A and B are shown apart, each in its own frame.
Chain A
Amino acid sequence: MKTLRFHYHMELSFSEPVHSHVYTLKCLPVTGAAQRIETCAYQISPAGRVREGRDSFGNRMLYGTVEEEHSLFTVDVNGTAVTDITAPCEEQERADCSVYRYQTSLTRPGERIRALFADCRGRAADLSFRDKMRVYTEAVHESLRYEKGVTDINTAAEDALALGRGVCQDYSHILLSLCREERTPARYVVGMLMGEGESHAWVEVYDGGRWLGFDPTNNVAVEDGHIKISHGRDYRDCSINRGVFTGQARQRQSILVEVTET
């Protein structure tokens, strides 16, 4: 168990002023079976009129419209989280696990993933659930070389594996694909890591009683250094920022996350 202070900063800069900017943000961590959010405050600028809601995966959403012209849009979230607690999994979460058993267009396997799956399954045949997941996590970790800019948000797991390079999103999609090939409920998680950097992605799998986190990018089981923001079937259910705006502008997004132990 650790108490972590987090600061999440997102910045969208536009090459020309835009207006009528409609946004939905999923950037607020939620208390769950593995973490407790003690404090959490946000600031959006310019914000327009902000509304709050929840999506059907249980994630908190902030959404609104900025009518006036602006060239910069920033979101800041500050708070503290207690990680690696083991609260009992809520009944609802248990009932909802089925939707995570099935492949999506981003995780659907092709020949390469099927081959990787056959290999892992063979090696993990006699292992416990946790140990099997460690084998899968390591296999995914070794199948890619971490490299930014070679894949994008629409890259499917199979294509990333074929390329042999990618980022946390690609590692996670491949691991999801393996789990779902054997119908293990597995979900995509967006969150923050100890230290300084960008937002991160990993995977949670359901062992029949609890959701356990595995981080294939770093080849570790999730313990007390990860703060979860949202989860869903794949990247698309969890995108931190979705937006449409009016204006002939190019946008650049940058994210800075800082997590320190208190």
Chain B
Amino acid sequence: MEIELTRRAETVNELLARYGVKFGIYKNNEFKEQLFPFDTIPRIIKKEEFAYLEKGLKQRVMALNCFIRDIYGDRKIISDKVVPEEFVYISSGYLAPCAGVVPPKGIYTHIAGIDLVQGKDGSWYVLEDNLRVPSGASYPMIAREICRKSSPDTFETYHVEDNRDYAKLLRWTMDYVNTGGHTVILTPGRYNAAYFEHSYFAEKTGAHLATGKELTVEDDYLYFVDYSGRREKVGAVYRRISDEYLDPMTFNEESVIGIPHIYDVYRKGHVALLNAPGNGVADDKGIYYFVPKMIRYYLGEEPILQNAPTYLPYYEEDMRYVLEHFDDLVLKDVAEAGGYGVVFADRMTAQQKEDFIALLKREPRRFIAQEVIDFKDIDIVENARRVPRKADLRAFVLMVDEPLVWKSGLTRFSRDPDSFIVNSSQGGGFKDTWVLSQ
């Protein structure tokens, strides 16, 4: 199948660069902005297949939200011995100041980015649940827009679900929990990796784009102060800064990008924070292992989407398995993200293996081990040739009175043919994700 669009690759990438579609990375303490390479061959998902993913994703995010509400509330899943308490309390995502604080409408996972891969046999696996500040939806949005301009015929020929409604879904999500007042997208500023996305969402949803300096707390309410000094009450903040930096009076005292006392406003129910602080307890790699159990526990249903086969060296039985099959596994440090702290056992030297196993035995709680899934390759165009590369899919699930799944997603690929790591911070590129409408 030859899609006309793929002949317009150069035009599309030029336009993406002109619109400033970039992400920033820090290397050797220096901030650099890079273009996010776009490949015009889309990932295509058939209507029925997406309907299956949609069902599974909704179920998963529902269960994750129940879990977080439970952890900061009655902790029934712990007293019922489904999840060992130490996995919760040792997790860096667990924030004690969130205990007993119920966010507006009980929603903790407003915007979730669930990373999936498709195995060679076609079955899908969830690799990670990103619940803190998952980024990436803006890239396929703007890429689609530019592709439509560059090759209108392509979208006449193929019936693809329009993905430009993401802004509408996001606005709905923010409005649904708004406690009365303006809606703000809070950015750490232009030196953030995803600054392009912050400004793009603000433009598309009509929310104010603000840094911490433009927000102020008075008498347990949050206000946006514009350039003329006018103050407006704020009812919802889609914050793109992490929990630790949100409020120096409750979290990291050194934070200069946060808003002092914003957490006290939230605690009193006077503002909604998206995503809810403390929700990282459910996207911990150690907690991931328990997600299928959560689905059964909270929803009484069988999980529709599978986890990649995962072992917790914390359990003796799993430790034995991991040591016996060490070379076949990928090991992940639960505290790391962005493709860091991931090691493939078969690529270690003998010495590295020995050291790693010693570390694993010393700190079993710190790692999970997974079977290496042989992803289905997707073609990309490189030097005018189609070559296969590993790719994943980040699906976006937004929560209102029920979860909504965006009919698109961010497909990231590894440019290195030998690598399974697709993170943009590690030099990967991205594709549009087409969900067919018929």
State which of A49, A101, A242, A244 has its C-beta within 8 Å of the C-beta of B89: A101
Q: Interface stretch among A11-19, A53-61, A160-168?
A: A53-61
- Shortest beta-carbon distance from B239 to chain A in Å: 18
Inter-subunit contact A56/B85 (CB<8 Å) = no
Q: Does B78 contact A (CB under 8 A)?
A: yes
| Chain B residues whose C-beta falls within 8 Å of the C-beta of A98 in the assembled complex | 75, 78, 85, 89
| Chain B residues whose C-beta falls within 8 Å of the C-beta of A242 in the assembled complex | 248-249, 253
| Chain B residues whose C-beta falls within 8 Å of the C-beta of A146 in the assembled complex | none
- Give residues 111-149 of B contacting A (CB, 8 Å): none
How far apart sit A96 and B218, CA to CA, in the bound complex (Å)? Answer: 31
How far apart sit A96 and B74, CA to CA, in the bound complex (Å)? Answer: 10
Q: Does B204 contact A (CB under 8 A)?
A: no
- What per-residue 1/0 map shows which CB atoms of A39-62 lie under 8 Å from chain B? 000000000010101011100010
Inter-subunit contact A99/B99 (CB<8 Å) = yes
What 19 new A-B contacts, CB under 8 Å, besides A56-B97, A56-B98, A101-B89?
Answer: A24-B250, A24-B261, A24-B264, A49-B219, A51-B264, A55-B250, A56-B100, A56-B101, A57-B96, A63-B261, A95-B75, A98-B85, A99-B89, A99-B96, A101-B85, A101-B86, A233-B96, A237-B96, A244-B260
- Give residues 69-120 of A contacting B (CB, 8 Å): 95-96, 98-99, 101-102
Q: List 7 A-B contacts (CB under 8 A).
A: A53-B264, A96-B99, A99-B89, A101-B85, A102-B89, A242-B253, A244-B260
| Chain A residues whose C-beta falls within 8 Å of the C-beta of B267 in the assembled complex | 53
Q: Does B220 contact A (CB under 8 A)?
A: yes
Q: Does B372 contact A (CB under 8 A)?
A: no
Q: Does B190 contact A (CB under 8 A)?
A: no
Q: Does B343 contact A (CB under 8 A)?
A: no
How far apart sit A95 and B101, CA to CA, in the bound complex (Å)? Answer: 16
Q: Does B337 contact A (CB under 8 A)?
A: no
Residues of B contacting A: mostly: loop
Q: Using known A-B contacts A51-B219, A53-B264, A99-B89, determine if residue A63 contacts B97 with beta carbons closer than 8 Å.
A: no
Q: Does A230 contact B (CB under 8 A)?
A: no
Inter-subunit contact A22/B261 (CB<8 Å) = yes
How far apart sit A49 and B100, CA to CA, in the bound complex (Å)? Answer: 26
State which of A102, A232, A237, A244 has its C-beta within 8 Å of the C-beta of B248: A244
| Chain A residues whose C-beta falls within 8 Å of the C-beta of B248 in the assembled complex | 242, 244
State which of A51, A56, A96, A233 has its C-beta within 8 Å of the C-beta of B220: A51
How far apart sit A244 and B257, CA to CA, in the bound complex (Å)? Answer: 12
- Give residues 234-261 of B contacting A (CB, 8 Å): 248-250, 253, 260-261
Q: Using known A-B contacts A56-B96, A56-B98, A242-B248, determine if residue A63 contacts B264 with beta carbons closer than 8 Å.
A: yes
How far apart sit A34 and B262, CA to CA, in the bound complex (Å)? Answer: 33
| Chain A residues whose C-beta falls within 8 Å of the C-beta of B323 in the assembled complex | none
How far apart sit A53 and B217, CA to CA, in the bound complex (Å)? Answer: 15
Interface footprint category on B:
20 to 34
How far apart sit A57 and B261, CA to CA, in the bound complex (Å)? Answer: 17
Q: Does A65 contact B (CB under 8 A)?
A: yes
Inter-subunit contact B98/A22 (CB<8 Å) = no
Q: Does B268 contact A (CB under 8 A)?
A: yes
How far apart sit A236 and B75, CA to CA, in the bound complex (Å)? Answer: 24
- Shortest beta-carbon distance from B34 to chain A in Å: 33
In the complex formed, the residue of A with least CB distance to B219 is A49
| Chain B residues whose C-beta falls within 8 Å of the C-beta of A236 in the assembled complex | 253
Inter-subunit contact B97/A102 (CB<8 Å) = no
- Shortest beta-carbon distance from B243 to chain A in Å: 14
How far apart sit A61 and B86, CA to CA, in the bound complex (Å)? Answer: 29
| Chain A residues whose C-beta falls within 8 Å of the C-beta of B85 in the assembled complex | 98, 101
| Chain A residues whose C-beta falls within 8 Å of the C-beta of B17 in the assembled complex | none
State which of B86, B90, B98, B249 has its C-beta within 8 Å of the C-beta of A63: B249
In the complex formed, the residue of A with least CB distance to B258 is A244
- Shortest beta-carbon distance from B25 to chain A in Å: 27
- Shortest beta-carbon distance from A235 to chain B in Å: 11
- Shortest beta-carbon distance from B357 to chain A in Å: 21
- Shortest beta-carbon distance from A104 to chain B in Å: 9
- Shortest beta-carbon distance from B180 to chain A in Å: 19
Inter-subunit contact B217/A65 (CB<8 Å) = yes
| Chain A residues whose C-beta falls within 8 Å of the C-beta of B90 in the assembled complex | 102
In the complex formed, the residue of A with least CB distance to B95 is A56
In the complex formed, the residue of A with least CB distance to B251 is A236
How far apart sit A233 and B89, CA to CA, in the bound complex (Å)? Answer: 11
How far apart sit A49 and B248, CA to CA, in the bound complex (Å)? Answer: 19
- What per-residue 1/0 map shows which CB atoms of B85-107 lie under 8 Å from chain A? 11001100000111111000000
- Shortest beta-carbon distance from A202 to chain B in Å: 20
- What per-residue 1/0 map shows which CB atoms of B176-188 lie under 8 Å from chain A? 0000000000000
How far apart sit A244 and B254, CA to CA, in the bound complex (Å)? Answer: 9
Q: Which 6 A-B pairs have the closest CB atoms?
A: A22-B260, A56-B99, A102-B89, A24-B249, A56-B100, A56-B97
| Chain B residues whose C-beta falls within 8 Å of the C-beta of A22 in the assembled complex | 249, 260-261
Most chain A beta-carbon neighbours within 10 Å: one of B75, B249, B268: B249
| Chain B residues whose C-beta falls within 8 Å of the C-beta of A233 in the assembled complex | 96
How far apart sit A61 and B253, CA to CA, in the bound complex (Å)? Answer: 16
In the complex formed, the residue of A with least CB distance to B220 is A51
How far apart sit A24 and B261, CA to CA, in the bound complex (Å)? Answer: 8
| Chain A residues whose C-beta falls within 8 Å of the C-beta of B268 in the assembled complex | 53
- Shortest beta-carbon distance from A23 to chain B in Å: 8
- What per-residue 1/0 map shows which CB atoms of B211-222 lie under 8 Å from chain A? 000000111100
Inter-subunit contact A65/B218 (CB<8 Å) = yes
- Shortest beta-carbon distance from B409 to chain A in Å: 36
In the complex formed, the residue of B with least CB distance to A22 is B260
- Shortest beta-carbon distance from A74 to chain B in Å: 19
In the complex formed, the residue of A with least CB distance to B99 is A56
How far apart sit A242 and B263, CA to CA, in the bound complex (Å)? Answer: 14
- Shortest beta-carbon distance from B3 to chain A in Å: 52
In the complex formed, the residue of A with least CB distance to B86 is A102
In the complex formed, the residue of A with least CB distance to B98 is A56
How far apart sit A99 and B268, CA to CA, in the bound complex (Å)? Answer: 23
- Shortest beta-carbon distance from B266 to chain A in Å: 11
How far apart sit A112 and B433, CA to CA, in the bound complex (Å)? Answer: 54
- What per-residue 1/0 map shows which CB atoms of B193-221 lie under 8 Å from chain A? 00000000000000000000000011110
